[in-house]
Structure 1
Amino acid sequence: MPGFDPLALIDACYAAAVEPETWSDALDGIADAVGARGAVIVSHDPARTAQTLASERIADVNLDYGVGGWWQHDTRIRLGRERGIMRPGMVTVDEMYLTAEEKRADPFFQHFIDRHRLANLCAYVGADPMDRHTLSFSASRDVRNGPFEGAEIERMGLVGPHVIRAFRLTALVGEMRREAEGLTSALERMRAGIVVLDVRGRVRLVSPVAERLAAGYLALRTGAEPEAAEPIDSARFGRFLADVLPERSWPRQETILLRRRGGGRPLYVEALPLRGADPFPVAGAGLGGGVVLLLRDLLAPSTRPIEPLLEQLGLTRAEARVAALVGRGAAPREVAEQLAVGESTVRSQLKAVYGKLAIRRQSELAVFITRLDSL
């Protein structure tokens, strides 16, 4: 059995919370540390029990357990509930549920455990901090190995709480990412871009849409204050920033229209305060959370988003975006520039759009998109 480095194993679990693809390696590392073939995390909420997470070495077992429905016949879960064994904070082993003789007569062990050549199981029981349903982190022994020993059980008890917390963090991070993607998609459909400023008014983040909208209106350099591109707006924009920074009295002027250098329609800029601590803290920056600048072209053609309708017709999100832009008159090269992808990628997606919508040329796509826009 390899050396036991609890901090490395725990760090691997928390790293997997933000990089879910590494969970299998993290679970395998813990399985090695306790002499098991593999490890699995199971929710005991009946609505989620089939949604297990396992190390790659027991992927076939996990698939059979979850998708195959064997979780509904797991004798240990039933007995654990009946006898009050599965309480948060406990480490359990098979001997707490059934004797060796009872295992040999039990259908779950006969038809599932024996078929996968598994033997003893050691599990840490935890509770989901959000809904209080129990979760278990289990390590499964190969049929050739004997029962789990004291040191191995202690190791499960040491790393188990961190595995459960990291597993829950994985779900929360996933939800946050989906919300962020939804916000990004909504802003894109509004033709709106965002610029995040720290408490000193320095640029920390610029969305792709904001970078495109700001061209000719604002000079945006990371680590520097934004500046109006049109000299006549320079002083006015400076006063606007001074008004909206957190250490100033908020709010005095929340919006401003900027002129484009060389002429053109105005750009609408709205300031939104970031509450709480500075998301990009620097030494001596003071308190407050910075400011978000929302950029919009108010005079851009107003069309309702049809991408969700196109996705319902079988297009991917990327294909729907391309179909909408090309159908409204943009050339593939312009679409590629706007979406920051290669023109060949756009043409490939356009070909897929034609196939899925059963059309043959751009003129037919334009008619189709026009009809969707008029709904």
Structure 2
Amino acid sequence: MEALLDFVGEIYEAAYKPDHWDHVVERLCCDLLKAKSGALLFEDRQTNTRSMIGAYGLPAAVRASYRFGIAKYDHTFQLQREMPVGEASQITDAEQVRKNHPFYYRMILKPNDIGFISAINIYNDDEWHVGIGLHRSFSAPPFSKQECKTLQLLYPHFSRALRIHREFHRLRTRQQSLHEALSRFMVGLIILGPDGRVTYKNPVAEQLMTQHAGLTLHQDRPKAHYADEDQRLQRLIKKQLHSDPGNVDNRTEALGVHHPDREMNMNIIVTPLAGADRLSEQPGSVGLYLSDPDSALNLPATALQSLYNMTPKEANVAIALSNGLSPSQISEQHGVSIDTVRSQLKSIYSKMGVNKQQDVIRVLLSSAQVQ
């Protein structure tokens, strides 16, 4: 029982450390159930993909081939589909498989010396199928009922840990997608943690600070070029770090910062970010949105096509607007009539959910918080 309790801790550690699943399967095989090899098998029924998220005693080629297609020949995993969730039993005897499924026997069992397989389903629904398979060699004894019962006792812990594992995976995937979207975002974005240090900056922010030295980063903290503007910036950041993001009256404040080499100021909007907001990693985070009216961002039109389902021409018009051009200037620059530009603007407003040109940048700013 002490060994089981210790092992349960390993299961929950793997919930948030995916690389630890290999160690969990190793301990399950070696310390608890005396198996020569084993695997934690995962089938995502929404993407129709299969993988081993944890394995022990299997050649790397087997693990890789499982992910790249051999899984569809896994007779054992197919048998597991028919098993009740949470009930462990021995489901494979190699001698029986050799008669009924010779291909699987020749491809998997015989070359890997797998004579007996004990298994349990952790999940088996429309979302996913997750199961554990443990293997013994041809020369070893079959799995006993008591050994299957031991595996069954661990079921609720595997169930909870794998659900946590799944949610962490989704969060990591969303975070990766968010960073990819923000990398294409046409407004500079800097996120500060509760200590006022930079935790994220997108490429546009880096580009703007390179072009306009009114704002720089010093020891991972934003710093304005002129002392009086920097004092005001630091006061705003400190205020927003301690403000309530849910209070719309305290939602945003703005200032302009200058540099002797640039005629126009850089505009900075300072806003608190809620801890539950996917932009912020923790409560007390602050976002700085940067724009420079004198700098053309020259972002690819494909960014807006992806974010707002615009046509290539509409995306070019939106980018021109963001760079301060008027409809007549856009008409001249693109070689089209003003009526064509106005028609494109109507479509842009509809797709962005706005009614006028001034709202385009506002929506682009706020859209970063709902990606």
TM range, smaller chain: 0.5 to 0.7
Distance 1:15 1:242 in 2: 33
Structure 2 alignment gaps of length 5 or more: 304-371
Q: Determine if contact 1:243/1:251 at 8 Å carries over to the other structure.
A: no
Per the alignment, residue 369 of structure 2 pairs with none
| Residue from 52, 67, 88 that aligns with 2:85 | 88
1:304-334, CA deviations, whole angstroms, 9 ceiling, x for partnerless residues? 32899xxxxxxxxxxxxxxxxxxxxxxxxxx
SS, match of residue 24 in structure 1: helix
Structure 1 residues 146 and 79, CA gap change in structure 2 (3 angstroms): same
Per the alignment, residue 351 of structure 1 pairs with none
1:44-193 alignment, distance < 5 Å: 48=48, 50-55=50-55, 57-59=57-59, 60-63=61-64, 67=68, 69=70, 71-72=72-73, 74=75, 77-78=78-79, 81=82, 86-94=83-91, 102-108=96-102, 110-111=105-106, 112-127=108-123, 131-149=126-144, 152-163=147-158, 165-167=160-162, 169-170=164-165, 172-189=167-184, 190=186, 192-193=188-189
Per the alignment, residue 39 of structure 1 pairs with 38
Distance 2:81 2:181 in 1: 47
SS, match of residue 55 in structure 1: strand
Per the alignment, residue 25 of structure 2 pairs with 27
Distance 1:73 1:231 in 2: 68
Structure 1 residues 31 and 234, CA gap change in structure 2 (3 angstroms): same
Distance 1:10 1:175 in 2: 19
1:84-116, CA deviations, whole angstroms, 9 ceiling, x for partnerless residues? xx222222222xxx6787445322564342343
* TM-score, length-scaled by structure 2: 0.60
Structure 1 residues 157 and 292, CA gap change in structure 2 (3 angstroms): farther
Distance 1:148 1:277 in 2: 47
Query: 1:173: how far off?
Result: 3.9
SS, match of residue 266 in structure 1: strand
SS, match of residue 116 in structure 1: coil
Q: Determine if contact 1:9/1:30 at 8 Å carries over to the other structure.
A: no
1:352-363 alignment, distance < 5 Å: none
1:3-50, CA deviations, whole angstroms, 9 ceiling, x for partnerless residues? 663145324523532xx4x54344223222221222222245666364
Task: Report which of the two has the higher share of strand.
Answer: 2
Structure 1 residues 169 and 32, CA gap change in structure 2 (3 angstroms): same
Distance 2:69 2:235 in 1: 65
Structure 1 residues 73 and 25, CA gap change in structure 2 (3 angstroms): closer
Per the alignment, residue 258 of structure 1 pairs with 256
Per the alignment, residue 14 of structure 2 pairs with 13
1:47-94, CA deviations, whole angstroms, 9 ceiling, x for partnerless residues? 63643335253134445555454644616634752xxxx222222222
CA RMSD of aligned residues (A): 4.1
Q: Determine if contact 1:191/1:297 at 8 Å carries over to the other structure.
A: no
In the alignment of these two chains, the number of paired residues is 285
Structure 1 residues 246 and 255, CA gap change in structure 2 (3 angstroms): closer
Distance 1:13 1:254 in 2: 41
1:258-337 alignment, distance < 5 Å: 258-264=256-262, 265-276=264-275, 289-305=284-300
| Percent sequence identity over aligned pairs | 19
1:94-146, CA deviations, whole angstroms, 9 ceiling, x for partnerless residues? 2xxx67874453225643423432022122211278x5433212221222221
Structure 1 residues 219 and 132, CA gap change in structure 2 (3 angstroms): closer
Per the alignment, residue 246 of structure 1 pairs with 243
Query: 1:153: how far off?
Result: 2.9
AA of the residue aligned to 1:139: L
Structure 1 residues 235 and 307, CA gap change in structure 2 (3 angstroms): same
AA of the residue aligned to 2:233: F
Q: Determine if contact 1:269/1:295 at 8 Å carries over to the other structure.
A: yes
Distance 1:70 1:203 in 2: 47
Distance 2:173 2:225 in 1: 35
1:202 and 2:196 are equivalent in the alignment: yes
Query: 1:297: how far off?
Result: 3.5
